[in-house]
Amino acid sequence: MKILVVGGGGREHALVWKIAQSPLVTKLYCAPGNPGTSALAENLPIAVDQLDKLLAFAFENKIDLTVVGPEQPLSLGIVDLFEAHGLKVFGPSQKAAFIEGSKAFSKDLMKKYNVPTAAYGVFTRQSEAEAFIRETGAPIVVKADGLAAGKGVIIAQTCEDAIEAVHEMLSGNAFGSAGSRVVIEEFLTGEEASFLVITDGNKVIPLASAQDHKAIFDGDLGPNTGGMGAYSPAPVVTQDIHEKAMLQVISPTVAGMAAEGRAYRGVLYAGLMVKNGEIKTLEFNARFGDPECQPLLMRMKSDIVPVLMAVANGDLADSGIEWHDKAAVCVVMASEGYPADYRKGDEISGLDQAVQSDDQYVFHAGTALKDGICVTNGGRVLGVTALGVSVKDAISAAYQSVSKISWQGVQYRKDIGKKALERP
């Protein structure tokens, strides 16, 4: 099989790494890829939003399966375009990807199909949003309706901060057109978990549990990012929580999307808040999480390609996934200044020394080659990932690799996975 992976971040490097292990694969491409994917696949100089160029390459080179990593091409309709030309592609249609593309749509869907979530309001006018904030009180959550690279969520500790966040979004200063409509929600407390499934629109296969770390600083402090690290399994997702997630969140959402004429095929990611044995849904994503994808794929024992193809064919009936008993931890190393303005072009040292065993791997996210030297080229630069007998062992192995890597201004959290160790 010839497979094309669309994207160039840490998630796509992980997908390329896993797909490359399949005996079914004869040729692997990644567009645009990064220095990490180039060791496993042929990188293509095509951006993720250049759908016509991606289509032309896939069509001319008789690609058997295209796997779409990021949310942007999904929201632009890459799946519809490829399928209209008879090409197999893994990911939701444009109408289905709207579950991530519009937080207002997602919240309305959850309300309609009785999926537990926070109380909310949707606003395009500053005055109405301000009245809702005053009535609800702080802390309160303000979200840009559209895609904002995982950063469009503001947890405001005061009403004044919330009102300012709304102003920045509605004026276009914060997230451009993505913030032209805002969703304002009650603030939920508890412990977050990432619950991902693969579905063909009917049958659902849950993936292993995971937990992301959104805030930039230790202790979940500071502004939200695209994700500063993740681990799997997540002890907060007990068997009882798993069953509730499937019954109360995933099943009604998949059925609801079908009923709305938006049949969902691909990875469906539910961000959950867990408290006192109950769950509420924070958001949906229409693709693998980044960085959750990295530890999940390192734990995946079985070949991923037959599952991806089964979804593309709309038939998961005979598919299944086996998992390693080991735990996995991913620590994101980021550029100075991220998630605001960040540095680029700093030389990265220690990559060759960072991996000492098959249980350690460094996934590239925001890197580039400059005169043959690997340099920083994004906010989140690397996803340093390791397996261990336990989460504690995986944490130790991951940070051992992290300690070997450096560049000017590097920043990373020192507490990835700590919540798992603190659970009774």
Indicate which CATH number applies to the domain containing 243.
3.30.470.20
According to the model, what pLDDT value does residue 424 have? 62
365: left (phi over 0), alpha (psi -120 to 50) or beta: alpha
Report whether 340 contacts 224 (CB < 8 A). Answer: no
Q: Quick one: DSSP state of residue 188?
A: P
3-state secondary structure 377-392: CCCEEEEEEEEECCHH
Report whether 102 contacts 180 (CB < 8 A). Answer: no
Supply the Cα-derived Rg of the chain in whole angstroms: 20
According to the model, what pLDDT value does residue 45 have? 98
Residue 320 lies in a domain: no
Same domain, 284 and 252: yes
Residue 353 lies in a domain: yes
According to the model, what pLDDT value does residue 179 have? 75
According to the model, what pLDDT value does residue 150 have? 63
Cut 0.75: pTM above it: yes
Report whether 92 contacts 264 (CB < 8 A). Answer: yes
Question: How many whole angstroms separate alpha carbon 137 and alpha carbon 186?
Answer: 8
For 293-404, where are the E strands, in sequence order? Answer: 327-334, 360-364, 367-370, 373-376, 380-388
Residue 105 lies in a domain: no
Question: How many whole angstroms separate alpha carbon 77 and alpha carbon 421?
Answer: 41
Work out the pLDDT band at 224, boundaries 50, 70, 90.
Answer: confident
- Report how many domains make up the chain: 4
Domain termination site, one of 254, 289, 312: 312
Question: How many whole angstroms separate alpha carbon 295 and alpha carbon 231?
Answer: 6
CA atoms lying within 13 Å on the CB side of residue 78: 30
Residue 369 lies in a domain: yes
Domain termination site, one of 312, 346, 381: 312
Q: Quick one: DSSP state of residue 127?
A: H
Question: Coil, strand, or helix at residue 373?
Answer: strand
DSSP conformation letters of 140-184: EEEEESS--TT--EEEESSHHHHHHHHHHHHTTTTTGGGGSSEEE
According to the model, what pLDDT value does residue 173 have? 72
According to the model, what pLDDT value does residue 421 have? 92
